[in-house]
Amino acid sequence: MHRMNKLFLFLLLLPFTACTEGVIEDKTTDTVTIQEPLVKAVDVDGFEKAMQQKNVLILDVRTDGEVAQGVIPGAVQMDFMNRAEFENGVASLDKNKQILVYCKVGGRSAKAAEYLKGKGFLSVYDLRGGFDAWSAAGKQTETIQK
């Protein structure tokens, strides 16, 4: 019986100890929606489809040398290997935008996506296979001047 009392007390107090980060209150209906940060790993077609949405930022986390080979149109570069530059750049981004992130083959972008998630970005898409997969699929690329 003593064990049941502890369990009951735990369940009773649990809602008061839960983290409130990511909670959005809907004032019109008096409901609360939990919105957890989300990272979606998507293929080339899924990435291209996500690019068509509104309020999107395409983030290239490759080095300058890699970017010289071309970028996905509209991408902004923030070199993940230069952590100070990357972290400063991320601090200036709008957390309400959908962030579409890619690197050369997918390793760094997966880490960058998790970093963004940890910083409170609510919607992050990671391109599986990176720029190499994008190029191999014959998708449009462009060169940028630095």
Q: What type of residue sits at position 135?
A: S
CA 53 to chain centre: 15
CA distance 15 to 18: 5
* 125, 100 Cβ separation under 8 angstroms: yes
CA 68 to chain centre: 24
Question: Which member of 103, 112, 113, 116 is catalytic?
Answer: 103
Please say if 19 is a catalytic residue: no
Task: Give strand pairing partners of 101.
Answer: 59, 126
Q: What type of residue sits at position 2?
A: H
- The residues annotated as belonging to the active site are 103
